[in-house]
Amino acid sequence: MLALPAAPAAAGDIRATVRDRDGKPVADAVVVAVPSGGATGAGIPPGLAEEDQRNKEFVPYVLPVQAGTRVHFPNNDNIRHHVYSFSPAKTFELPLYSGTPTSPVLFEKPGVVILGCNIHDWMVGYIYVSESPHFAKTGADGKATLGGLPGGDYTLRVWHPRLEGSEQATARPLAVPATGAVDAATTIGLTPDFRARRAPTPGRGGY
């Protein structure tokens, strides 16, 4: 008997666009699709991710990961950093260090984790921990593609560090086709950017 190749699993895409109220594209917005009924469905298992420190900044500014992901925090500056978070979704601290800590940090609880550095006040970053494996981050053009979703009904949400109002207020139902793509445009309000102004730290040579 001849063995027939298995048919590829049917999957659809979401082509998301996020703009502000002036019609401008919004970068660094996280778009999440949660299957109806709350089940997360199939997806890539959580693995490893990386939140770098370069030129006294967190890179990337926004890092979306799936719950259960372990994140490395390499320090590629020639000075030391002290990374911490007091967020309910994950509280942790990496005392003053250079290079890469031996053990990554596990992010097991969905939510937003705000990162800071005890030495450099302007260093702020965000890790968005998703309960769903279906998510993507918008680029400078405000667009993101969530690919390979099983066809069906989903709830689509958008989050951004400067989102005006709650993430739940952005939720909308969306039907994803078994094959092909569906477009989803979202308009969000943005609050002012209150990040601390970048400046040298007097008396902290070597930090």
Residue stretches of the chain with pLDDT short of 50: 1-8, 205-206
132-159 pLDDT, tens digit per residue, is: 999 999 999 999 999 999 999 999 999 9
Neighbours of 150 (CB within 10 A): 16
Among the three residues 112, 132, 152, which one is the final residue of a domain in this structure?
A: 132
Backbone angles phi, psi at 174, to 5 degrees: -150, 130
**2: in domain:** no
The model's pTM: 0.89
Check which CATH number belongs to the domain holding 119 and give it: 2.60.40.420
**204: in domain:** no
Residue 50 lies in domain: 45-132
**85: in domain:** yes
Q: What is the rounded distance in angstroms from the CA atom of residue 83 to the CA atom of residue 119?
A: 9
Among the three residues 116, 132, 148, which one is the final residue of a domain in this structure?
A: 132
- 3-state SS, one letter per residue, for 111-131: EEEEEEECCCCCCEEEEEEEC
Do 36 and 202 form a contact (C-beta atoms < 8 A)? no
**199: in domain:** no
* Per-residue confidence (pLDDT) for residue 74, from 0 to 100: 96
Q: How many structural domains compose the chain?
A: 2
**201: in domain:** no
Q: What is the rounded distance in angstroms from the CA atom of residue 4 to the CA atom of residue 176?
A: 29
* Per-residue confidence (pLDDT) for residue 134, from 0 to 100: 96
Question: Looking at the structure, do residues 50 and 118 belong to the same domain, yes or no?
Answer: yes
* Per-residue confidence (pLDDT) for residue 4, from 0 to 100: 44
Question: Looking at the structure, do residues 173 and 144 belong to the same domain, yes or no?
Answer: yes
* Per-residue confidence (pLDDT) for residue 37, from 0 to 100: 76
* Per-residue confidence (pLDDT) for residue 5, from 0 to 100: 47
Check which CATH number belongs to the domain holding 35 and give it: 2.60.40.10
**173: in domain:** yes
